[in-house]
Structure 1
Amino acid sequence: MTPTPDSGVAIVTGAASGLGAAVAVALRTAGWRVAGFDLRSSDTALSVEVDVTDAAALSAAAARVTQELGPADALVTVAGIYEELPLESITDERWDRMLAVNIGGTVKTCAAVLPQMLERRSGAIVTISSDLGLGGSQGDAHYAATKGAIVGFSRSLALELEGSGVFVNTVAPGAADTPMLAADSPWRAESFLATLPAGRLVRPAEIAAAVLFFLEVGSACVGQVVSPNAGATI
């Protein structure tokens, strides 16, 4: 995409690091004014420290974006957590936290930002799932469950918003080279990397490019899922 002087206002959750930071950089380079929602400060035009599990705080954050940058034209819900545990080690507290942040945070952020899009009858939402939500996984069932739920939620929201001028799509990346993956993660093991056609983890910039694709095509894609995963899930 050729950068434009102003592609609009985009909100990116989880923008302080990892994939969220990569998405924020890609959008900024493409001409977007980016507001970052994160527990920490982000390198964005407007950095808002907010917990995506807090609906009231998200509504206030969305209002602040409108006041300081203008109404949101795009929302990318990157914020999430990950851990690798066998089912017998996943406590109720771990299940609840994973659900609250990954699927709960996605739903609550969409609910906070959507009213201003509906009022203007224009907007694009890109949710971030995972290829583990599409194909399952061993050793991180609670994470995979939340990422599968994001796909179902996003497709349902896309149907619900038919005719509204707001379009919803999903990027479901494979294992990415971000700090979220520990150095000893099985996804970094040479035995796993050797199974991938690319022979390496997906780069955050490649995932950000998929996000930009959905923002560019508008109504050409509705309720769709693209999975940049280096061939891990086909």
Structure 2
Amino acid sequence: MSEQKHALVTGGSRGIGSEIVKVLLSEGYEVWSLSRTKMDDRENLHHIGCDMADRSSTEAALESVIKQAGSMDVLVNNAGITRDGLIMRMKDEAWDEVLAVNLTSVFLTCRRISRLMASQRKGSIINISSVVGIMGNGGQTNYAASKAGIIGFSKSLARELASRSVRVNVVAPGFIDTAMTDALSGVLKEQIATQIPLGRIGKAVEVAEAVAFLASEKASYITGQVLAVDGGMAM
């Protein structure tokens, strides 16, 4: 019988994170999810309440995960928020909160889980960035800075952990259909789709499948890379 695989997903209760959890469960992982929103009970799924903007909350949740799991094969840093606005009117709180959730939490989780993976001499870390971190976007300087930061952080971490057979990669989603985009009008969605070479908005499961690929042995020789799941937006 094969050994049970363990995965940790931040922000796993909604949107892309929820699909990542579903796909990893379907692939046989036992999954721990960190989020503020409670998740429905599912076999092999463990939810730990955590405010990813709060350092002490995040660190306590990570210790709880490690105590329960004992080992970790996959870490997916998906937690993210937006607080959009033009920089001339952006408040300090909008900058600080986005950087705390989107970037500092990645540092905290990677710092702790990489120690475990390095001692195991195996593991795969997938950090969720965005095409905004590659292309930029007006009104999202805070978000773009956090997502671009993830890319540089991940490439550096990949170099640090390669000798321990731990891989680090980035998935950069484009415009993906989630509850957040449901509020947009059909006309606006059609306008956005015209800017995408494949001519349509992406599905959350398409991002999740890319994550599952990078987590798997099929990607055993891939590290330090950015995989854009964006229909060609960032070409």
Q: TM-score, normalised by structure 2?
A: 0.90
In the alignment, what sits opposite 2:224? 223
- Opposite residue 30 of structure 2, the aligned amino acid is R
Per the alignment, residue 165 of structure 2 pairs with 165
The CA deviation string for residues 84-135 of structure 1, in whole angstroms up to 9 with x for no partner, is: 3222221111111111111111111111222211221111100000001011
Percentage identity across paired residues of the two chains: 35
Q: Distance in 2 between matches of 1:33 and 1:90?
A: 41
Instruction: Give the corresponding residue for 2:8.
Output: 11
Structure 2 spans left out of the alignment, 5+ residues: none
| Cα drift, residue 54 of structure 1 | 3.4
Note if 1:115 corresponds to 2:115. yes
How far apart, in 2, do the equivalents of 1:188 and 1:105 lie?
32
Note closer, same or farther for the CA distance 1:195–1:108 as it changes in structure 2 (3 Å cut): same
| Cα gap change, 1:230 to 1:7, in 2 (>3 Å) | farther
SS of aligned partner of 1:156:
helix
Contact 1:62 1:112 in 2 (8 A): yes
CA offset at residue 56 of structure 1? 3.6
Q: 1:58 to 1:18 in 2, by over 3 A?
A: same
Deviation at 1:69, TM superposition (A): 3.3
Moved more, 181-190 or 118-127: 181-190
Match of 2:147 in 1: 147
Aligned partner of 1:193 in structure 2 is 193
Match of 2:61 in 1: 61
Match of 2:33 among 32, 36, 45: 36
Q: Is the 8 A contact 2:83 2:94 kept in 1?
A: no
C-alpha distance in 2 between matches for 1:82 and 1:17 = 14
How far the C-alpha of 1:36 sits from its partner, in A, is 0.4
Question: Structure 1 CA distance, aligned partners of 2:187 and 2:166?
Answer: 35
2 CA distance for matches of 1:98 and 1:127? Answer: 16
Equivalent residue letter for 2:48:
V
Alignment check: 8 A CA contact 1:76 1:128 kept: yes
Q: Distance in 2 between matches of 1:186 and 1:88?
A: 30
Counterpart residue identity of residue 94, structure 1: A
Which residue is 1:22 aligned to?
A: 19
Structural mapping, 1:205-216, within 5 Å: 205-216=205-216
Q: How many residues align?
A: 231
Tell me whether 138-147 or 46-55 shows the greater mean CA deviation: 46-55
Q: CA deviation at 1:22?
A: 0.6
Partner of 1:109: helix, strand, or coil? Answer: helix
C-alpha distance in 2, partners of 1:59/1:191? 42
What is the CA RMSD across the aligned residues, in angstroms? 2.2
Tell me if structure 1 keeps the 8 A contact 2:52–2:105.
yes
TM-score (ref. length: structure 1): 0.90
Distance 1:136 1:125 in 2: 24
Deviating more after overlay: 42-51 vs 156-165: 42-51
